[in-house]
Structure 1
Amino acid sequence: MKTEDLILRILDDIQEAVILINSEEQIIFLNNSASKILNLSKEKALYKKVTDTISDTRLHIVLKTGIPELDRIQNLGKKIIVTSRFPIKNENDEVIGAAAIFRDITSVQKLAEEVTNLRDLESLLRAIIDSTYDAISVADEEGRIVMVNKAYTKVTGLSPKDVIGKLATYDIAEGQESMHIRCSREKQPILNVKTKLATNKKEVLINVNPVFVKGEFKGSVGVIHDISEIERLIRELEATKRLLKKDEAKYTFEDITVESEIMKNVVFQSKKAANTNVNLLLNGEPGVGKEILAQAIHNYSSKRDNPFISMNLLLYDEKKQIEMFFDSEESLIERADSGTLFIDNAHLMGADVQNLMYELLNEGYVYYNKKKINLNARIIFATPENLKELMSIGKFSRKLYYKMAVVTIEVPPLRERKEDLPSMSKQILHILNQKHEKVVYDISEDAINILVNYDWPGNIRELENVLDRALMNMAQSETIITSMHLPDLSKENDDGNQINGTLKEMLDEHEKRIIIETLKICQGNKTAAAKKLGLTVRNLYYKLEKLGLK
């Protein structure tokens, strides 16, 4: 095979398209790639003028000018080519023809446009992600951080340099596993995890979702919502609400579980008494719900739109009782104007207080420190003690007793109203759900049987404690309290308090009982109680607040 033929054969088979024209502008060579790209048969093209055969050609111009045109992009209908055109010269440097070498780059051009679009899209998404106030972190399939937004640094205090490329072991939560790593392991969304950041102790809510591409796990996206300010505002709001509502009664008879006949009778008596102006005495063991009943009576009466003032004498000595009832700028009796004054642990009234209270109830007013205090409120007294027995030993005023106990309602202990237990337990459960942020909607029959067969020396307060502990024993995914979740009630001590739980919980509970009993012995006198306990008065007040006794 001649050398010229071999060269033409090679040119015919290469991927690049090749066209040659002579000095007459005639096509003298067209290889297979050129024929395919131009959709032009060799028979129709050879020895025809290039301008008559190929539209938008510039080979004739290169032939005339002798100036090459390199790497030009050109549209050929739906196709895009990159072409180089150059003159062919003889040994005398005379132009005797021209050649074009080109390639179809339609697919490459589309890919380039897609890449450009993806880059634009990535920039757009990055701008959107950076504009959000929530901290966002993206991790790969191993749980290594690959991207964070600007808010991430603001919320966590960690810069991209601190975390990118590193395992997400310290970027989110204090004292627990990283949500990214957990998501990497479980391949499931991790939602609504409330915790504190390790870096700055901010309260946050975390959601981490897995990312799948064509069914294959590729990583996870975490959104950290800073709720520290919200939590602070909620706490302030709750504190404000407590201040604003301290003179209001929130419970009604609808909040009291009434399945047993004995409680039906209590509610009947209470409603009947609510529509009178007589003073009431509620008698019942600690924890039976005497204040709830007092609030329900107030809200059922014509006084419902007026103040409900509550005072627990267990926490105040006689001097403080006199001050709060009669000697302050606005005494409790005056604050309760046209409403209800609820006095709990009434058996702890000091002797002088009893005398003043009798005069107030008997005359409708009392003078103290040259100030006249009128009684325009109904007073509901409550006590766990037998006042008649205290009268018999001279510990309580007989004349006051008959003034304050015009109507006496005995509030039964929980052991005498066990028919109420199932409904009451579910009612308490609803409140505890909010406390523990759980969705526990029922109590199993075996658990109810255990509750019904227990005598509840601590009454409703003890039932709340037991159910509270049951919820703490439950996994987040569990929705029904069973016997397995209940603490062992056979290990309850004589006063109905749990002896299991954490050491701190048991110590707090024991400390609370000692302080309460000491205050009872000292008739509410904190100075005497502090001295008996070997504490300063200031320290005692601190403990009362810490243990929820103030």
Structure 2
Amino acid sequence: MTTAQGDEIQDERSVLVVDDEPGHRLMVRAVLEDNGWRVAEAADGGSALRILRSGPAPDVVLLDMRLPDMDGLAILRSLRELRPGLPVVMLTAFGSVGSAVEAMKKGAYDYLTKPADNDELEAVLDKAWQYGQLLRENERLRGEIQSGPEIIGQGPAMRQLEELIEQVAPSEATVLILGESGTGKELVAERLHALSGRKNGTLVKVNCAALPADLLESELFGYVRGAFTGAVKDKPGRFQLAQGGTLFLDEIGELPLQLQPKLLRAIQERVVEPLGSVRSVETDVRIIAATNRDLRQEVREGRFREDLFFRLNVLELRIPPLRERLEDLPILTSYLLRKLGRKNRKEVRTVSPDFLEALSGHDWPGNVRELENVLERALILARADVLTPDLLPAHVREASLDREVLVERETRALQDSPEHSPVLAGPFDSSLDEAERQALVQALEAHDGHRERTADALGISRRTLQYKLKKHGLIRR
């Protein structure tokens, strides 16, 4: 067990409780130790800072806003300098919530009102711990960067994709990468090349959707002098430029039908015929193709040759859209902000929990490319070192409110329903309040009073639930 007297703070699920009220510290210790936490205590800001300077950091700090020797915001600033990625949860009296919100703008992860509700205490600290784990994992990944590009994501879908890439990359087989626009198909192609036996060769890229058919043919296969007006000298095609390396055919589903037989022959027989030439040129390239189209459907509708499809689709890799791997949003956000910070010469140390919650509410039709654009906008507009939801485009902010709006509408519908409506004994808003209160009571009872599960069931954020419980006098003291 760890203490404030200098014992070592363990790395796994550990928390430093900084509070000058011994009774509250004792209550917090009892609750958290029952849930497997290792707890260290400090009665003032100076003791807390000494603990953090003298040994390993805890996973989370639970920090009272008012301490006898230092202001909570001053301690928070010192903590941010000492341990930039350490999640800090503020403790505040109900009447000082504004100060806690200000602390969140300065980098605190979340806040709790005193005396802390047991369920909420455990839920908030657990989320803070998970957030800290994601930040540390991102740091580990950054330290492992070698010659190849990173595949960012630690969810099951991306772990499986990375395993397939590592398994497929050393082979010489043709690979077809499937995924929506913006999912990172080009990045996967770069990763395949970097892990292959051809990594010392050239990775040549061709976007089949960016060039008209006649120009695309000359780009792929090259031409000889005199092949057409303006061809004043021989020009090698992309197949020849990729000799000994990899040729990446992006947006292969856009390849004109009249060019498909020539590409099929180049892949199948490993030779190309430059425009205007009567001689074939041998090639030694590995083909990686990518598309956001359903090529099987294209084959059925006669827009893509079946024999070319099977030649390309020896090994198939599907990249999941971002909406199917929202668990990767924190680590993606952290990675992209570092990348964008270098590009824009502007550092943002962290994001607020509400910022991440707003990101999670959007369905990201543009996938990672859209996320990167949204984050770059927020980074450029940010005046502080913490990103907050007001920096997001309106359509992203509003998407995160859709579920809460839906619950409000359901509450109104419940009030309007004859079999459920109470007798209108007062103003309309009062009956709505009563309907909302009854809905909250029923939801709490259905989930044994557990606030996080109740919020999830209602489709609202934990902070919104907290506000509504206080509004209706349902907070357990």
Q: Please, what TM-score do these two structures have when normalized by structure 1?
A: 0.42
Relative to total residues, which structure has the larger strand share, 1 or 2? 1
Relative to total residues, which structure has the larger helix share, 1 or 2? 2
Q: Please, what TM-score do these two structures have when normalized by structure 2?
A: 0.49
